[in-house]
Chains A and B, each alone.
Chain A
């Protein structure tokens, strides 16, 4: 025979009276679990993500610290000189006067007379873009022997701004060359401080010294030619 259970008010009252001593403990357990789930576990997650952030911050601070110490150890005068040299070698825009000075100096040094010249300037209104380095091409007529023109070409190879001879047509008395002078616009100044500042490798330092020696030759020759030592300056047409 099955005993029937009636679910009514009296059942709950009976159950309450029977188990009420457990209720306080049960309440503490429930509150503790709620606290654990709602507050403690999210805190653990926050701490874990904080740890990742701390590692990233430490790395960033280390990079920034190195950048600061590198910049503070850089001598300003020396840096300005280096800057002038590289800008002289690779101007930020079409440097007509620099080009003409370089040609004049090379001509004076090698005893070549410079005749007519023409610039192929290109579009003046647009800024050069793309991966290729912009250049300014000039056609030159040179008066001199083949060997002196060869010396002129060698002198141009060691002069600033940097140039590249594209075409040579050497004749017994008159020669013509097409020569391109490079320039490079200055990049926009949006620094990423979180990146380590690239240092100058020994190879780059050597290159800088090499360019400086060319610059010195140019400035010495420039002084010589301005003091009237050069013989062909009258025929250069500048």
Chain B
């Protein structure tokens, strides 16, 4: 017994073609839906973006700041000047303390004739009727050098005797630390 094919050969081709058409239409619809959906999402994202409101806020704050221009300028100048003042005070040599330090090391019988201080060195000219007192003064200064207090080097440039007055004169030079 043999099977009889009731469908003509062309009918099978037509069924597979319709299936193909459906698949292609589905893909096309899918792509279109994807594009539409994505566009909608992007549109919503852009609508809800806070950029515009931020820009408005920025403009409003800037206009408020412009109104406080003087206040801002004054504040910035205060901060800037205080920074500079701090630097100046930090670097400023305290020559008055140097003078006081030398005066405090001076024994009662030694008189200072002159005291010259620059930013790097000190020159002391003095007189005394006693060599012992000059020695005490020198020892005090040497102790300052040893302790690295204000001066780093001490040179006795001259020591002379004034026979008329009966006094000893000395010239010292010290290098400031």
Contact = CB atoms under 8 A, between A and B. Distances in A.
Contacts of A165: 93, 95-96
B24 A76 contact: no
Interface string A39-61: 11001101100100110011011
A197 B77 contact: no
B74 A54 contact: no
Interface stretch (A1-9, A65-73, A226-234): A65-73
A147 B102 CA distance: 11
A156 B171 CA distance: 28
A79 B74 contact: yes
Interface string B30-61: 01101100110010011001110011011001
A211 B85 contact: yes
Contact of A60 (B38, B58, B69): B58
B77 A86 contact: yes
B132 interface: no
A40 B24 contact: no
Interface residues on A, range: 35 or more
Given A40-B39, A54-B51, A61-B61, A169 B78 contact: no
Nearest to A172: B113
B157 interface: no
A207 B82 contact: yes
Given A64-B62, A71-B75, A80-B74, A187 B118 contact: no
Interface string A72-87: 1010100110110011
A126 interface: no
Contacts of A32: 28, 31-32, 34-35
Interface residues on B, range: 35 or more
B116 A79 contact: no
A30 B64 CA distance: 53
Interface stretch (A21-29, A93-101, A111-119, A215-223): A21-29
A89 interface: yes
B68 A72 contact: yes
A43 B118 CA distance: 73
Contacts of A31: 32
B86 A167 contact: no
Nearest to A29: B28
Q: Is the interface of B mostly helix, strand, loop or mixed?
A: helix
Given A32-B31, A40-B35, A50-B49, A164 B88 contact: yes
B116 A169 contact: yes
A191 interface: yes
A36 B78 contact: no
A76 to B, nearest CB: 7
B79 A208 contact: no
Contacts of B94: 157
B115 A200 contact: no
Nearest to B86: A207
A238 interface: no
A155 to B, nearest CB: 9
Interface of A: 21-22, 24-26, 28-29, 31-33, 35-36, 39-40, 43-44, 46-47, 50, 53-54, 57-58, 60-61, 64-65, 67-68, 71-72, 74, 76, 79-80, 82-83, 86-87, 89-90, 133, 146-147, 149-151, 153-154, 156-157, 162, 164-172, 182, 184, 186-187, 189, 191, 193, 197-198, 200, 203-204, 207-208, 211
9 contacts: A54-B50, A57-B55, A61-B61, A71-B71, A80-B74, A87-B77, A154-B100, A191-B76, A211-B85
5 smallest CB-CB distances across A and B, nearest first, come from: A153-B96, A64-B61, A25-B28, A86-B81, A170-B115
